[in-house]
Structures are given as C-alpha cells and as structure tokens.
Structure 1
Amino acid sequence: MRRFQALIALLLALVLGVTNVVAAEAEDEFHLEVVILDHAEKPVLNRQVSLDEVQSLPAAEFHTTTIWTDGVQRFRGVWLSDLLAHLEIFEGQLDFSALNEYLIEIPFEDIVPGGPLVAYEWNGKPMSPRDKGPLWVVFPYDSDAKFQTESIYAQSIWQLDRIEVYR
C-alpha cells in the first residue's frame, strides 16, 4: 500500500512539474497577433509580434492610479502609437481583443503619444495572464480628466493578444 501511495505521489509531482514547465514556456512564447483585413473582412496580413519585439521598441513609463488597483501604480511599455507605427498601421478601424475574449475598438484619434500605453511591466515586474498581462493597454488616468471616462476605462484592455485592423 505504501508503495502505491509513493507511486501516486511521484506521478502527481511529475504531472504538476510538467504542467508548470509547459505553462512557463507558453508565457515565454507569447505573441501578439496582428491581423489586417480588407473591405470584405478577408485577412490580407497575419503577423505574430513577440513580446521581445514589443520590448525592443522605445520604452515609456508613467505613474498613475487606476480603478482596478489600490494606490499609485507604475507602468512601463510602449506607446500604442509607436507600436502601430512600427507595424506600419496608420489607418483603419482597430479592434483589440484579449485572452478572455474581451473586445474593444480604440479610435485612431485616441492613439497619440502620451495616451494609451501597451504596458508589459507593472510596478517593475512582467505581468502574467493572471496579473492582467502579458500586455495591458493603460492610460495615464491621473494626468488629464479626458482619461477618466467610461469609454477610456473600457479601452483599457488587459491580456491583450490580438489587434485587428479593418481597412
């Protein structure tokens, strides 16, 4: 009986260990999917942007409070305007979706430097999907009342994993 219990314990440890390794590798392999669609909504381009590629772009950082957290938070990432310029996206309807299938449109006129930031660090640490990551679109809410509206809060999508551009 003790042998059987030891064997079960060993198997559980192996399964849990493998699961944790697979989960860690999945986080390391995160890619932001960027899809450009034509007028008939057929994909013209499908690009996978790695987290490393996002982090290689010029970084920006700010401190702000949010309606989802307590106290002042520090976010580091890339301005959404810089990410879109890097991807050569200058027009179209932009739909953003998350791992949890949340979907929101962000109008191009709201995408300016000093506006939405695609954050990859929160208080100096990378974000896991359990912590709203690995990418979270945040605004400098405390810097201007225009960033403290329901529509801006709705655009603050966490677990960002896909951008669709309709041209």
Structure 2
Amino acid sequence: MVNQFLQAAAMAVYLLFAGVGNQAKADASMQQPVGKVVLTVGGAISNTTDGKQALFDLEQLKALGKEEIRTSTPWTNGEVTFEGIPLTKLLSAVGPKGGSISVTALNDYSANMTVAQLVGAGAILAYAVDGKPLSVRDKGPFWIIFPFDTDAKYRNDDYWSKSVWQVKSMTLQ
C-alpha cells in the first residue's frame, strides 16, 4: 500500500514538473530525426514525429540532457559509471498519456513497468559506461539503469528484470 502510494506520488510530481498533466497540444509534432533512428517510442504518447510514434536519433536523445549513475550491477565488475538520458526527460519529450511502459530489446525481450517506477527511481537510458559508448555486443545501444547501490529496494529480481539492455523501443500504455 505504501509502495503504491509512493509510486503514485512520484508520478504526480513528475507530471507536475514535466508539464505533462496539462499538455497544451495533443499529438504535437516533434522534430524528425536527421541521423539513423536508434530508438522508437510509441503507444499512448502526445508528441510524435509521424503521427503515431516518436523516432529519435542519438543526437536528439543526447540533446534531452545527460545524467550519470555510479553503481554496481549483477552484470558488471564492481562499480561503474553509466552515462545516459534521464528517463524523466525522455518521457517529458513524448508526453506520456499512460502510466505503464513496455521496454523492448533487440532480441524482443521486453519488460513492463510503471512510469512511476522509472521516474521515482531516477532511472536513465544509458548509452555509455565508464566513458565508452555501449555497443550491441556490450548491452548497447541503450540500457535501462537504476541506481542499484542507492537503495536495497532496487537490488532484487524485480528491478534487475526491468534493467533491459539492447533497448530498441518503448511503448506506453
């Protein structure tokens, strides 16, 4: 019950600060990607590049802002520094209409989570680790990273299963 309340509160704060709760223009057009499309965000979103989904090239994603998380993971040796796009900023850019999100990898593995889980945790869409771009061979081009070392609640199978690597798309519901 408390966890649900905290998730709902995190979502409310996110919507308030992101300005999503009062979208002035539904289905607003976003700038078309110039480079290779590296991420597709679709589903229940307000802002699109083609009327149905938001397509991003790497430069567009990086323009949303950068954040670092220094943490250990079950898949890395010791603490490493992940660099990526704050998911709050990515979600703000697309204007989510739904409260849940499905993140899909290149191999079609997918994980479902709430927007509040991502926002409340301060998760990022990582594109580099220890200053080196993530390659497909090394869990890239993108990897959902939670700050695992900041709170024991993130160090469990539930959050580890949501830490999707080789991310290719996201769908909001």
State the TM-score, normalized to the length of structure 1: 0.74
Matched, 1:68 2:75: yes
CA distance in 2, matches of 1:61, 1:45: 31
CA distance in 2, matches of 1:53, 1:30: 10
AA at the equivalent of 2:107? N
**Structure 1, gaps ≥5 residues long:** 1-27, 39-43
Of 125, 128, 136, the residue aligned with 1:118 is 125
State the Cα RMSD in Å. 1.8
SS at match of 1:157: coil
Matched, 1:36 2:81: no
Query: What is the CA deviation profile of residues 99-123 of structure 1, one whole-angstrom value per residue up to 9, with x for unaligned ones?
Result: 0111101212202265211101111
Instruction: Tell me if the contact between 2:146 and 2:163 (Cα under 8 Å) persists in the aligned partners.
Output: yes
Of 57, 70, 74, the residue aligned with 1:50 is 57
Matched, 1:141 2:148: yes
Deviating runs (4+, > 4 A) in structure 1? none
State the TM-score, normalized to the length of structure 2: 0.71
CA distance in 1, matches of 2:62, 2:78: 26
Which structure dedicates a bigger proportion of its chain to helix? 1
SS at match of 1:91: coil
SS at match of 1:45: coil
The count of corresponding residues between Structure 1 and Structure 2 is 134
Of 88, 91, 102, the residue aligned with 1:84 is 91
CA distance in 1, matches of 2:98, 2:172: 8
Instruction: State which drifts further: 28-37 or 120-129.
Output: 28-37
Instruction: Tell me if the contact between 2:121 and 2:147 (Cα under 8 Å) persists in the aligned partners.
Output: yes
Instruction: Tell me if the contact between 1:37 and 1:45 (Cα under 8 Å) persists in the aligned partners.
Output: no
SS at match of 1:71: coil
Higher CA-based Rg: 1
